[in-house]
Amino acid sequence: MVHNRSYKSVIRTNLGSKYLSLPVPIEYPTKGDKTAHAILYRPKNADYKAPADEKPPLLVHVHGGPTGMSSSILNLTNQYWTSIGFAVVDINYGGSTGYGREYRERLKGNWGIVDVQDSANAVRYLIEKGEVDPDRVAIAVK
């Protein structure tokens, strides 16, 4: 049983740890020698294993804003994508809440700049770390 607070309901599932991708908070360098934040979900499906030499495609999720945030609460959309072989990264670009005032105020006067830079830098970071396929990246607004 999983409590999904964003919908104030209970979801009953027997998926278990063989299919659920756990959230991994990441920090990565971004413009101006600053650090940005995101949550990474790696592909997970007990019934399928990708070839060892194949990196997963990446789906980049960007929350609405300007001062919202992505959380690590169970998100069945993320779990769907990871179950079919995608890595998913939920971006908490500069301007997001939850990382202090200075972080939240990065977006002030820079909407459409800081959020885009932080999103692009998350992709670069994951490619450089060898986590994802650089030729298979998509972005979606949540």
pLDDT tens-digit readout, 81-92: 999 999 999 999
Q: How far apart are CA 133 and CA 63, in angstroms?
A: 23
Amino acid identity of residue 125, one-letter, is Y
Tokens describing residue 12: 């009953």
What is the model's pLDDT at position 99? 92
When pLDDT is averaged across residues 26-51 and rounded to a whole number, the result is 94
Distance, in Å, from the CA atom of 92 to the CA atom of 39, rounded to the nearest integer, reads 8
Domains of the chain: 18-141 (3.40.50.1820)
pTM of the model: 0.86
pLDDT higher than 60, residue 7: no
* Cβ neighbours, 10 Å, residue 30: 22
Number of CB atoms found within 10 A of residue 31's CB: 16
| CA pair distance 131, 113, nearest whole angstrom | 25
